[in-house]
Amino acid sequence: MEEEGSRRRPSDAVLCECSVLAARRTRARSRTKAVVVNPRTSSQRRFRRFIESIVRKVFDTQRKSPRDNVSAASATQIQADVTPTKSAHPAELNVVSPPKRTASVPASRLNLNGTLDSNGNYGRKSASQSDLNYSAELSVAAPTRHAIPELDLTFDSYNDEQYRPTPKPTQVISRPLPPKPQAPKEPIYYPQGKPVPQLQNDTALRRVCEVFRSVPNQKCTLENMPAVCEAAGLPMYWKMPVFLAITNDEDRLATQVDFTSWWKAMTSVAHDEAARFVYTLTMGSRSYLQPEDFYEMLMDVIHTHPGLAFYRDATEFHDKYCQVVMTRIFWNDAHSWSGRLTTERLRKGGVLQAIRNLQFDDDINKSLRYFSYEHFYVVYCKFWEIDSDHDLKISSTDLAQHAGGALVPMVVDRIFSGAVCTNPNRGQPVEDIGLAEFTQFLLAEEDKTHPTSIEYWFRILDLDGDGLVTLYDMELFHTQVQRKLAAEGIDSMGFADVACQLIDMLNVPGGVSAFRLSDLKKSSLRGRFINTFVNWRKFFAQETNEGSESPRIEDEGGQELTEWDRYCIEEYEAMMEDDQADAETISLNLEEDDGRSSLAYHDVL
């Protein structure tokens, strides 16, 4: 019995032999099947890649078609249950094996509405291969020294709808679009005009060269300049300034070389009509015009325009005509008391168009703003009437006789104080004025609605030159108007009542007791306002005819005539009637003298 007891194996021996057999059997299986050397690391890595591929697929599907609802029939059905289980044998580990190969799925790929091959790569498949069931187990013997708990990985209970991560709302990041390449912006302001293509200037130069080749010796005189100006695209009455410019004001003929050098120099800096006109008249020396720059051109108009043919023999009056026309050009277009006509003001004015129209109209009197001979005749006759000694200079005493002494003495003193002079010595008192200054006065007196006329009279009324005409200034001028009316036996209102009317005329906000030049320009009754302080005869006329308006008179083109145009029409007709009456009287006297002479001669015989 003792021998049998000693030969009996211990209770743990059977368990050890079972463990050895189990280990041998596992090694035998590992030779035929793929054995995971490290079950924990390899299985977790493969499972992680599998989950990442599913999540990536879900996010891709939601990004591509967020509005599509995945139906239950086409959704992937995967059930997985990863639960580590305790086993009575700590040396064994249950691991779910890779999916078994079926007839519809290749053994090297895992399909879940897509594919996962053995390398963990994800590829897209058709929807028919998306529903798969996986179940497999692999038992691997753990190392003998360390007891590893069993890990059971089954995907039967995995539900795609249950474990799908909730997608976070995609935040839309608005990024500014890169700026599109744009062409460089052209400058808005061109002092010398917007540049023209060089081809246009070269084409005009070729046409001019053909004109020079057609004349004898390829040299042009002043008579050939109309054809040259036409070929160059210039107005015809630029011919005298152009001729003087290309010959450098020398007494010689113009050659093709002269014109080419002048044309290239002029077109390189002057690009529009106004800039080229200034360059031509000043020969490129200034960027503005002065009255004397127009002299040569106006003399050429006198000698060549058909409308002034009757006036060419009266050479003693040519300079007077030029002075009046130059004064009117600067009065209408310069809008400055510096005596300069800039290129910018020349563009906005109308003298360039008037010069261009001279070649198309033989009637010079249709140019009402600048070149009308009738307007010149009225101005010169009025100047001659008050020039007592006929020395072509008017003193303060002579000017006080204008319109039968209608001007108040303070206005005459302000005119000779230099407040409205445009010469370099403006602001300084002058002893007498010439035809140009008298032309300015007459334009301001007969058309008080013109912008320059308003500036003229504002300078007269502004005694201290601070830019404000106060009630004190107005009272001084109106007091002299009341004295003139009293001398004629006419009663007038007091200044307090007149001041209330004047403030209503200007419509100044707040009813202030002073006004500026801008306030006077805005008022529609500015003419009546100025007459209240300047001309007592016109003030009395407008007070007695209050409410009556002058009829509207239009020219041939349908444009309303200004007050100056009406004045010139009335005065010119009156002067023509007087001249005709004088001529008839002279002829009758001559006939009577001839009769008496013949009678006396007959008696003597």
For the chain, domain boundaries: 198-371, 395-544
Distance CA 418, CA 205 (A): 48
More confident residue, 41 or 282: 282
Tokens of 196: 């023209």
How confident is the prediction for the chain on average, in pLDDT? 77
Q: What is the pLDDT of residues 489-499, one digit of tens each?
A: 998 888 888 88
φ/ψ of residue 30, rounded to 5: -65, -25
Kindly tell me if the per-residue pLDDT of 145 is higher than 60.
no
Q: What is the pLDDT of residues 190-249, one digit of tens each?
A: 888 989 999 999 999 999 999 999 999 999 999 999 999 999 999 999 999 999 999 999
Q: Report the run of H or E that residue 139 belongs to, with start and end.
A: strand 138-141
CA angle 462, 468, 471 (to 5 degrees): 80
Three-state DSSP class for residue 560 = strand
pTM attached to this predicted model = 0.68
Q: What is the pLDDT of residues 539-551, one digit of tens each?
A: 999 888 865 556 6
Distance CA 492, CA 507 (A): 23
Q: Which residue has the tokens 């691997």?
A: 140
In CATH, what number does 198-371 get? 1.10.238.220
Three-state DSSP class for residue 444 = helix
CB atoms within 10 A of CB 442: 20
Distance CA 386, CA 427 (A): 24
Equal fold, 198-371 vs 395-544: yes
Name residues whose C-beta falls within 8 Å of residue 499's C-beta, 6 or more positions apart in sequence: 471, 474, 475
CB atoms within 10 A of CB 136: 13
Distance CA 414, CA 426 (A): 12
Query: Comparing C-alpha atoms, which of 565, 543, 544, 538 is closest to residue 554?
Result: 565
Distance CA 146, CA 144 (A): 6
Three-state DSSP class for residue 94 = strand
Judged by phi (left if over 0) then psi (alpha if -120 to 50, else beta), residue 178 lies in beta
In CATH, what number does 395-544 get? 1.10.238.10
Name residues whose C-beta falls within 8 Å of residue 334's C-beta, 6 or more positions apart in sequence: 340, 341, 342, 345, 349
Asked whether 138 and 33 are in contact (CB, 8 A), the reply is: yes
* pLDDT for position 116: 46
Of the chain, the end-to-end C-alpha distance in Å amounts to 219
Q: What is the pLDDT of residues 320-371, one digit of tens each?
A: 999 999 999 999 999 888 899 999 999 999 999 999 999 999 999 999 999 9
Amino acid in position 228: V
Q: Report the run of H or E that residue 92 belongs to, with start and end.
A: strand 92-95
Kindly tell me if the per-residue pLDDT of 573 is higher than 70.
yes
Distance CA 558, CA 512 (A): 40
